[in-house]
Structure 1
């Protein structure tokens, strides 16, 4: 992840070296670095995601982080080195605004769920007591445990709401490349496929883990990712 940030900065610096001030490269670089700074800030929360709990540190995760991510996720920044664009002040500010909002909502949604679980539901979500489902299940050692399924705030909109701002951010920081080539949008396309597949995997895992409680949760939060669509 650190290589992703460093390469994005390097590509931005190269664009400035070749062409002078290039707002498109700067915008893409800023949004990428802010997103990755958020990732490191929220690193303790990442330890509770499917990557760590289910996939773990095998070939998929290690090779992906060491090779796939720095080689291909940097394409929006890399492409601008050979295909510079000038956005203008208004478009630059618009892209930055949408990007910053996406980062904030993505972080706030994850933080909201963790805060409810860390306080055992004794908190407020958007000014009200959170609506939760106390899902009981058995661990592999036979011991009974409990998880809180949040049905308030962002998580009343869809079961994987945090994927929406993440996809929007991936799209918006690719937009400075224009729409004449597909390559700069490779990260967005791959991320879309990955997150839709992950939403399906997570639903299947939770259905098996929580049983009737997950069915109750799905009755209250009907959509997986995007309300009205999926």
Structure 2
């Protein structure tokens, strides 16, 4: 009877597809969505996992011998699977601590002795890694960012269409939150001046931001603890959610891997979107604030700010501001539309970004790179070139996605695909398939160059980010190949280079 019902359902789907003039590929998408919806409500199929197995183009050749037990899920791991997930969850915190201990106020080691400094720092005074005061500062920071996100007005926007055909709503107030945060930190302290006991005036001044530098290690630990705690909450709550709410990659059935990669696609507390909030607000703005704390510390030590410190704050502050000003673009990124919210994104947003990306500012507190005016000018020009490429490419892509007939992009050449979508093959996107990544990396290199050439450690960002972008490009290429099929090969013939024309 079940097979007969499935056959009738297939005929209905094909009848509907013929009425709508759908292609075979669109019919496949419709078939998948229909069976997933049925599976999520326990209709027609006895197991959601069996729905995935039924729809998998390469079904398991060894069916479950006991139909009463849950069949083994079809698994496609990333990042090396469960073992790789464990390695990342252990390794990334160690990298953050390693950068802290290897590059301190007295020296920034580049030789093998740096490993000894890291080992000594992690094991010599283990209790020194944690500070209740720093934990309190971190929790106050997170709470403050939540409050600002809740109270600030912003532009209403809808996310992409989800599996159940719904679209989540968002309030884009990140740009305001950036400036509101800086206003509170730079003018939020009140000083009373008086003469002979009589109050004369009130002065608004900055909070003691140099405390950030002083408690840097404790803040790292606080961010690590919070990230693991948030990831545990996300995994636990995802177990009660219907299948239609879960990310495709986070349903392997392996607890460790799913904890790492993230199960639920858009976890929310009422209308508070946890993933989108963490993606841009506390970590990204926190990065800019840590840089400010380092600048305050340098001024406290020297009585002035060096040109590299000013420039690294300006360069990276612009980068953060840009991301928040164009916040709408985040709603169509893979992080939001495809990946579940688990340890990978939570730790990356809240610990990795603020405490590895601020390495250059922390280095400059105690080290003078001795750069000439000519060198500084060249670095500024590199930053301008990188930002021009990055912003030009991203703005062009976003304008095309919103309205392909807009006057700003209507003149660009496109390629039709069987899915009905057009792909840009001219303008910035005719230069290279990931030309925005190229601009992004050039900006990052300019930050590192501000630290001079005495040690390679401040160049960690440029090295790591280059590897990350290559991995992300390969991952995107694989997913687009699956999505567009032969059309993707044709597109790559039009735009053969990924990052740099005639090079890579």
Q: TM-score if structure 2 supplies the norm length?
A: 0.42
The answer to whether the aligner puts 1:162 opposite 2:446 as a matched pair is no
2:390 to 89, 106, 115: 106
Displacement after TM superposition at 1:93 (Å): 3.5
Residue 130 of structure 1 corresponds to 412
Question: 1:154-194: CA deviations, max 9, x gaps?
Answer: 11111001011111110111111111211101111111000
The answer to whether the aligner puts 1:55 opposite 2:329 as a matched pair is no
Q: Distance in 2 between matches of 1:51 and 1:201?
A: 12
Aligned residues: 220
The answer to whether the aligner puts 1:196 opposite 2:444 as a matched pair is no
1:28 to 282, 302, 312: 312
Residue 486 of structure 2 corresponds to 212
Residue 97 of structure 1 corresponds to 381
SS, match of residue 322 in structure 2: helix
Gaps of 5+ in 1: 138-145
SS, match of residue 226 in structure 1: coil
Residue 324 of structure 2 corresponds to 40
Q: Distance in 2 between matches of 1:72 and 1:161?
A: 24
Q: Distance in 1 between matches of 2:417 and 2:290?
A: 43
Residue 448 of structure 2 corresponds to 174
Q: 1:92 to 1:177 in 2, by over 3 A?
A: same
Residue 296 of structure 2 corresponds to 13
2:403 to 101, 111, 119: 119
Residue 11 of structure 2 corresponds to none
Please say which structure displays the higher CA radius of gyration: 2
Q: Distance in 1 between matches of 2:359 and 2:418?
A: 44
- Contact 1:23–1:88 at 8 Å: present in 2 too? no
Question: 1:107-129: CA deviations, max 9, x gaps?
Answer: 1101101212222245344xx71
- Contact 1:98–1:172 at 8 Å: present in 2 too? yes
SS, match of residue 123 in structure 1: coil
Residue 362 of structure 2 corresponds to 78
Q: Distance in 1 between matches of 2:320 and 2:301?
A: 26
Displacement after TM superposition at 1:76 (Å): 1.0
Residue 66 of structure 1 corresponds to 350
- Contact 1:105–1:165 at 8 Å: present in 2 too? yes
Displacement after TM superposition at 1:86 (Å): 4.1
Deviates more, 1:197-206 or 1:81-90: 81-90
Q: Distance in 2 between matches of 1:200 and 1:149?
A: 18
Q: Distance in 2 between matches of 1:228 and 1:45?
A: 29
- Contact 1:12–1:77 at 8 Å: present in 2 too? yes
Displacement after TM superposition at 1:90 (Å): 3.7
Q: Distance in 1 between matches of 2:452 and 2:417?
A: 46
Question: 1:84-143: CA deviations, max 9, x gaps?
Answer: 234344433332232133223211101101212222245344xx7111123233xxxxxx
Q: TM-score if structure 1 supplies the norm length?
A: 0.89
Quote the RMSD (CA, aligned, Å): 1.7
Displacement after TM superposition at 1:4 (Å): 0.6
Question: 1:32-74: CA deviations, max 9, x gaps?
Answer: 0001100101111121112222224221111111011111111
Residue 141 of structure 1 corresponds to none
SS, match of residue 178 in structure 1: coil
Deviates more, 1:63-72 or 1:95-104: 95-104
Q: 1:23 to 1:86 in 2, by over 3 A?
A: farther
